[in-house]
Chains A and B, each alone.
Chain A
Amino acid sequence: MVRTPNLPPRLRREAQRAEDAARAAGLDFFEVVFESVDARDLNAIAAYGGFPRRYASWRFGMDFERLHKGYSYGLSKIYELVINNDPTIAYLVRSNSLMEQKLVMAHVFGHADFFKNNAWFAPTERRMVQTMDAHADRLKRISAQQGQDQVERLLDRALGLEGLIDPYLPLQQARSGKSVDRVGRARASFEAVMDGRPAPSPVPTPIPGSTLPTYDCLAFLIEFAPLEPWERDVLCIVRDEAYYFMPQRQTKIMNEGWASFWHSRLLTNGLLEGSEIIDFADCHSGATASQPGQLNPYKLGIELFRHAERLGHDIFRLRKIHNDSSFIDELVDEEFAHENQLFTYHDNPKGGGPQIASRDWRTVKQELMNSLAWGGQPRIQLREVDAEGALVLVHRHDGRDLVLQEAGQLISQLAHLWGAPVHLLSLDGGQGKRVTAGKAGVSVADCEEAIESCGGATSPKQRPEQKRRTA
């Protein structure tokens, strides 16, 4: 079930051996396709998020420029690239050594198993290669009609809103038997218009997630904003792709941990020659190294799975039901925090950079879960359309403030799409704030109401005003 269209015979044999070993160990995956590419091509594919084809956008060009420069100067190199799809597609860099290829293959089978079996991936589109291709075609068609610049402007606007979706919606939909990505109405009317037929009368089949209050801002816009059909279609594409990528944000630690756990186990249980062990150990420890003050998802993930195995958990069940946040809730205990030397840090109020704040495992655990919940992104709820027709967004504050100035730029793009002002309620240093974007630009005002709306029961922790250190 592994396909190796352009691999040399030696690698083909290794791919087969890796697959046999993975299956024997109990991993379960869609067909895996390994494709061998050179580093430059891999950088291009990586800039497209792993897909052979995406719609035209300068952002992919910029990402490529960055990856390619990094690679040319020897600063960075992509080892593995695998995409959630049926068949699962993975790339092997031609210049890697045989040991590295074996490592990547075993690692890929770990990811492939995770994609197929983890609950958060269950609602994702599994024919994403074709879907991306279709998106590219649709945008090409729209560009031909509306002009490249128009489409680019809308895309740039919409992409900032990518984070305004509800990570929990797909699972809820899947449970209730409805699927999330059938935004058929907009598409049908768009296609009708393209073919010169009258648009179907707007009998609303509400888009899942578009009833207030909602976290799925994009769905609400698609449904209710005064947009041209083609604009709706562009937003649908952006939303579909955002939902596709969301589970990868939510399970970064688990996914990398699971893949590393299995590459390590499979390689040291027969896939490696004795002479390759030292090189492997070097490579593996490089991938799982952690700087003080940094968390490496590969390292944290693999340790969590090892810890679970020691405690007698069914690790296959764990990889099925959890996301990063709930996984940590389930597994991090005093022993784990101690052994892995976990700590929380904050900026030293006297200056001089961050310092270790606490080694109390409960504090560490809480903070870790906080930072990973909601895919690591700010939780923004669309609460209502107020009496003046303005959108009211509420930032569910978890102790971390937003960069309000940038949030202002973002909601002004939102206001543009909505065609009326947009308010965002948030907290800044414990003070309630309302950011408003409208025709007159962006303004920030103090707002008592926001304290209650955003903070809810958890009062925001008081923190010294401190510039955050830059990377």
Chain B
Amino acid sequence: MGYEVYRMEKDRARFRDIVRGRLRGDLKKYLSSTELLGQRAGRTISIPVPQIELPRLRFGNNEGEGVGQGPGKEGAPVDGDDQEGDAAGAAGDEPGNHVLEIDVEIEELAEMLAAELELPNIEPRGTKQLLSEGGRYSGLRNQGPRSLRHFRRTFKRALTRTIAEGNWNPADPRVVPIKDDERFRMRRTAPLPESSAVIFHMMDVSGSMGKEQKEVVRIQAFWIDTWLRSQYKNIEVVYIVHDAVAKIVNDEEFFHLRESGGTKISSAYELALDLIQNKYRPDQWNIYPFHYSDGDNWSARDTSHCISLLRDEILPQVNQFCYGQVRSAYGSGQFKKDLDKELGSSDKLVSASVDGRDEIADSIRIFLGRGC
């Protein structure tokens, strides 16, 4: 068989279109919720969508009754497993109960994100591209193998010639191409950019960053990853946490680790710089450091150390450095003020403050809106 499946693909595609339409409409909601986090597998993201229900006439609130089968005295609870479902006549027909997961490609989700936030595509930096030779049949020439003969072009030329010679007979519309008419497809080589990027997610995990602040960072990081993954073929993500010292962790730890104590932001910057110099060399990598904190630093001296690290070492080597300041109950927010004052004129530094989940979308727009 198999043709059922082929036919089904059209109906399935239409359904998925409808779902995508809704997804697009609801993107704002997803931008401020954790619903999609952890749904990524490879290059697809499964998105839970409620089944679309057409309104029907259904029995309602006094339907918690019916006929069942099993042991027990009158008045005894109908146990069974309540989770298992309803009795006869009451098939689970509550709308919204059926949740279906639809797999969406990262590119597609990124495209929706771009449309929502009006993000420009990133133009990878010229010298940082690894070029691989690609090619497509986009040219024409008048010699070549049979198998590459361009039928339409050849026929058109032959037809033109036949008419021009006065040999065209509509009653017997025969066109015989001669060698001169023949045109062949030609392969043109084109360099295909194959670019790699590395993302550094650095987060302040000192005592003042609470659960909600970390959730905000998680959501932000998810969307930033999604976007950059759609833009670069090879992406590596490095997670760095810091309080007074910095360390590399995996994504799980990154989002759940809770440290206490002081904050020395420069520790994270130094670690990132070390990685840039030794592992992710700027001539081969597009580099995107993101730093999230509540804006409290240990001392003004460390802050000025951070600023000189950024100005002299980090900014010249990266595509863009993003600082996201998450508002917390304890943070003073001083660090952003300092950064903006000292480095606000640099086109490589972007800072945004996020007061809550509703502002995640705006901060992502600020971070990624420059297209570099």
Chain A contact residues, CB within 8 Å of chain B: 35, 37-38, 40-41, 44-45, 47-48, 52-53, 56-62, 64-66, 69, 156, 159-160, 163-164, 290-297, 299-300, 340-348, 352-359, 364, 367-368, 371-372, 376-378, 380, 399-404, 406-407, 409-410, 413, 429, 463, 465-471
B15 touches A293 (CB 8 A): no
A292 surroundings in chain B (CB, below 8 A): 68-72, 78-80
Q: With A291-B81, A292-B71 as given contacts, are A468 and B2 in contact (CB-CB < 8 Å)?
A: no
Given A293-B78, A346-B64, A354-B78, are A402 and B57 neighbors across the interface (CB < 8 Å)? yes
Asked if B69 and A56 sit within 8 Å, CB to CB, the answer is: no
Q: Among the listed A357, A376, A403, A467, which residue makes an inter-chain contact with B89, where contact means beta carbons less than 8 Å apart?
A: A376
Distance to closest chain B CB from A404 (angstroms): 7
Q: How far is the CB of A332 from chain B (nearest CB, A)?
A: 10
B61 touches A294 (CB 8 A): no
B142 part of interface (Cβ distance < 8 Å): no
Instruction: Pick the interface stretch among B4-12, B105-113, B225-233, B333-341.
Output: B4-12
* B56 and A56 contact, CB distance less than 8 A: no
Most buried by B among A355, A407, A429, A465: A355
Check if A58 sits within 8 Å of B14, measured CB to CB.
yes
A47 — nearest CB in chain B belongs to which residue? B8
Q: Is the CB of B55 within 8 A of A413?
A: yes
- Tell me, rounded to whole Å, the shortest Cβ–Cβ distance linking A157 to chain B: 9
CB <8 Å contact, B67 and A364: yes
Q: Min CB distance, B14 to chain A, in Å?
A: 4
Instruction: Provide the residues of chain B in CB contact with A60, threshold 8 Å.
Output: 8, 11
A455 smallest CB distance to B (angstroms): 14
Residue in B closest to A360 when the chains form the complex, CB atoms = B74
Does B173 sit at the interface, judged by CB under 8 A?
no
In the A-B complex, the 10 residue pairs with the smallest Cβ-Cβ separation, listed nearest first, are A471-B92, A292-B70, A61-B15, A295-B88, A61-B11, A409-B55, A347-B64, A61-B12, A293-B78, A403-B60
Centre residue among A35, A377, A469 by max chain B CB count within 10 A? A469
Query: Which of the residues B57, B71, B79 comes within 8 Å of A380, measured between beta carbons?
Result: B57
Are B59 and A400 in contact, with the CB atoms below 8 A?
Answer: yes
Interface contact A410-B74, CB-CB below 8 Å: no
CB < 8 Å: which of A69, A293, A347 contacts B68? Answer: A293
Residue pair B100, A294 in contact (C-beta under 8 Å): no
A37, A48, A58, A409: the one within 8 Å of B15 (CB)? A58
What's the Cα separation between A277 and B78 when bound, in Å? 33
Is the Cβ of B88 less than 8 Å from the Cβ of A294? yes
5 contacts between A and B (CB under 8 A): A293-B79, A295-B89, A342-B68, A400-B59, A407-B57
For B54, the chain A residues whose CB sits under 8 A away are 59, 156, 159-160
CB-based contact B55/A401 at 8 Å: no
Q: Which of A41, A56, A299, A357 touches B1 (beta carbons < 8 Å)?
A: A41
Enumerate chain A residues within 8 angstroms of B342, measured Cβ to Cβ.
none
The docked-state distance in angstroms from the alpha carbon of A413 to that of B88 is 29
A65 to B101 CA separation, bound complex (whole angstroms):
9
Our pick among B18, B67, B82, B93 for the contact of A343 (Cβ within 8 Å) is B67
Find out whether the CB atom of B59 lies under 8 angstroms from the CB atom of A367.
no
B16 at the interface (CB under 8 A from A): yes
Residues of A within 8 A of B92 (CB): 470-471
Q: Does B63 contact A (CB under 8 A)?
A: yes
B148 on the interface (CB 8 Å rule)? Answer: no
Complexed CA–CA distance, A354 and B14 (Å): 40
Given contacts A347-B65, A348-B77, A354-B64, contact A471 B7 (CB under 8 A): no
Rounded to whole angstroms, the CA-CA distance of A297 and B66 in the bound complex is 14
Q: How far is the CB of B75 from chain A (nearest CB, A)?
A: 6
Residue of B nearest to A369 (CB): B67
B86 cross-chain contacts in A, Cβ below 8 A: 294, 469, 471
From residue A140, how far is it (CB to closest CB) to chain B in Å? 11
Which of B11, B56, B61, B95 sits near A64, CB closer than 8 Å?
A: B11
Q: Closest Cβ of chain B: how far from A286's Cβ, in Å?
A: 15
- List B contacts of A402 (CB < 8 A): 57-60
In the complex, what distance in Å separates the CA atom of A292 from the CA atom of B5?
38
With an 8 A cutoff between CB atoms, is B13 at the interface?
yes
- Shortest Cβ distance from B98 into A: residue: A66
Whether A468 contacts B64 by the Cβ 8 Å rule is yes
Q: What residues of chain B lie closer than 8 Å to A410, measured between beta carbons?
A: 55-57
Q: Is B97 an interface residue (CB 8 A)?
A: yes
Write the nearest CB–CB distance from B54 to chain A, whole angstroms.
5
Q: With A41-B2, A359-B74 known to touch, is A291 a contact of B62 (CB < 8 Å)?
A: no
Q: Is the CB of A355 within 8 A of B97?
A: no
Among residues of A, the one whose C-beta sits closest to the C-beta of B58 is: A403
- Note all chain B residues with C-beta closer than 8 A to A356: 68, 72-78
User: B178: which A residues are within 8 A, CB to CB?
Assistant: none
Q: Are A355 and B55 in contact (CB under 8 A)?
A: no
Q: A347 vs B11: C-alpha distance in the bound complex, in angstroms?
A: 40
Q: How far is the CB of B124 from chain A (nearest CB, A)?
A: 37
Contacts of A355 in B (CB 8 A): 75-78
- In B16-73, which residues have CB < 8 Å from any A CB? 16-18, 51-52, 54-73
Cα-based distance from A58 to B58 in the complex (angstroms)? 22
Q: Is B133 engaged at the interface, CB distance under 8 Å to the other chain?
A: no
Q: Considering residues B66, B79, B80, B94, which has the most beta carbons from chain A within 10 angstroms of its beta carbon? A: B66
Cβ 8 A contact of B82, one of A62, A69, A156, A469: A469
Indicate with 1 or 0, residue by residue over B83-127, a CB within 8 angstroms of chain A CB atoms.
Answer: 011111111111101101110000000000000000000000000
Please measure, in the bound complex, the distance between the C-alpha atom of A400 and the C-alpha atom of B11, giving whole angstroms: 36
Q: B94: which of A164, A413, A470 is its contact (CB, 8 Å)?
A: A470
Complex alpha-carbon distance, A467 and B65, angstroms: 11
> Could you say which residues of chain A place their CB within 8 Å of the CB of B73?
356
Besides A65-B102, A292-B69, 20 other A-B contacts (C-beta < 8 A)? A41-B2, A44-B5, A48-B4, A48-B8, A53-B4, A57-B11, A65-B12, A69-B101, A291-B80, A292-B71, A293-B79, A295-B87, A295-B89, A340-B69, A356-B78, A367-B67, A378-B57, A402-B58, A403-B58, A468-B61
Scan B240-265; emit 1 where CB is below 8 A from any A CB, else 0: 00000000000000000000000000
Contact between B61 and A465 (Cβ–Cβ < 8 Å)? yes
Instruction: Using CB atoms, name the residue of chain A closest to B59.
Output: A400
> What is the bound-complex CA distance between A299 and B84, given in angstroms?
17
